[in-house]
Amino acid sequence: MGLGKKVAATIIFGSGTLICAQAGFWQLRRKKWKESLIEERSQHLNDKPYIVSDDFHPWEKDPEYWNFRPIQIKGKFDHSKEMLLLRKYENRNGYKVVTPMTTENNKEILVNRGWIPVDLKPLSKRKEPEGTVEVAGVLRLSEMPSNYMPKNSPEIGEWYYIDIDEMSKYAGLKNPSNMMIHEINFERSREVYDGEELTEIPLKSVKSELISWFVMPETHMTYAMFWFSSSTICLLFNILALLGKF
């Protein structure tokens, strides 16, 4: 192999070695980040719920601390101002229902109440609770949309992710909370599988949903091993090219 070909092979395989190695380390960082989140959220989900009995909402001063911490609160839903987010549940099309709540002390907060199938989108087809109800769940911050997710279109009632400020403004809340409540069924241990009958409407989340991702930490490890293997192969080809073996 001539000098020019060796230089070209070194550039190609050397770049491949570095790029694949960087991809592998990125996957390891993602794995560590998700493992840390799972541990933190699991600890919070097992805490005793904060029972709101007055107009003092401690999360308003330190929302990061209260993120994913359990809460119990009483209030009244305003179903006329509910917002529906497009969501799938076990391969079934439907919506997440977000409803404003006014607490017993006249505080306002959004509640992610759970999932409904497409055929129950009209409010008239659902039997919703009236009067004062107790909600159990966890406090959440606004969702961070991906780069590929469309922007919310409140003017036509299309929602793709939860933006507390935007949704509170749309619902006409005068003094909204800086966090929302993600309602949880703490008694149910798993999701309702495809084909099973829905046990409640809306179908509330379970704790396991809050510590699950499409790509879990062990999958990131598999991806990392793939990229490190690819990096090693590129390195071997680079060495063979320098030795003139092909």
pLDDT in tens, 8-23: 777 888 898 999 999 9
- The most distant pair of C-alpha atoms in the chain lies apart, rounded to whole Å, by 84
User: pLDDT at position 208, please?
Assistant: 85
Q: What is the pLDDT of residue 13?
A: 81
Q: Do the domain assignments include residue 99?
A: yes
Cα 174 from Cα 171, distance rounded (Å):
9
Is the same domain home to 122 and 183?
Answer: yes
Q: How many domains does the chain have?
A: 2
Decide if 236 is inside a domain: yes
Higher pLDDT, 19 or 104: 19
Percent of residues, the chain, with pLDDT higher than 90: 48
pLDDT at 41 over 80: yes
Task: For residues 112 and 137, state if they share a domain.
Answer: yes
Q: What is the pLDDT of residues 214-237, one digit of tens each?
A: 788 899 999 999 999 999 999 988
Portion of the chain with pLDDT greater than 70, in percent:
98
Assess whether 225 and 205 both reside in one domain: no
Q: Is residue 43 part of a domain?
A: no
In a domain, 198, yes or no: yes
If asked whether residues 107 and 163 sit together in one domain, one would say: yes
Which conformational region is residue 172 in: left (phi greater than 0), alpha (psi within -120 to 50 degrees), or beta?
left
Tell me, yes or no, whether 81 and 127 share the same domain.
yes
At residue 188, φ and ψ (nearest 5 deg) are -85, 135
Tokens of 229: 């293997």
Query: Does residue 96 have a pLDDT over 80?
Result: yes
112 and 233 housed in the same domain:
no
Q: Is residue 133 part of a domain?
A: yes
Following DSSP, what letter does each residue of 31-44 receive, concatenated?
A: HHHHHHHHHHHHHH
Residue spans of alpha helices (H) in 82-203: 164-170
140 part of a folded domain:
yes
Query: Which comes out higher in pLDDT, residue 176 or 9?
Result: 176
Contact criterion met (CB below 8 Å) for 204 and 138:
no
Decide: 82 and 124 in contact? Cβ < 8 Å: no
**Model pLDDT, residue 241:** 78
Position 174 pLDDT exceeds 60: yes
SS3 breakdown of the chain: % helix, strand, coil, rounded to 5? 40, 25, 35
Give the span between the Cα atoms of 155 and 152, in whole angstroms: 9
**In terms of domains, do 201 and 223 share one?**
no
Confidence of residue 2 (pLDDT cuts 50, 70, 90): low
- Asked whether residue 44 is assigned to any structural domain, the reply reads no
What's the mean pLDDT in 200-213? 87
Q: Do 95 and 29 fall within a single domain?
A: no
- The DSSP H or E segment spanning 11 is helix 3-45
Q: What is the pLDDT of residue 145?
A: 84
17 lies in the same domain as 80: no
| 64 & 174 share domain | yes
22/138 same-domain check: no
pLDDT at 215: 82
Per-residue pLDDT at 140 exceeds 80: yes
Does 194 lie in the same domain as 74?
A: yes
Q: Kindly report the average pLDDT of the chain as a whole number.
A: 88
Residue range(s) defining the domain that contains residue 224: 3-37+217-242
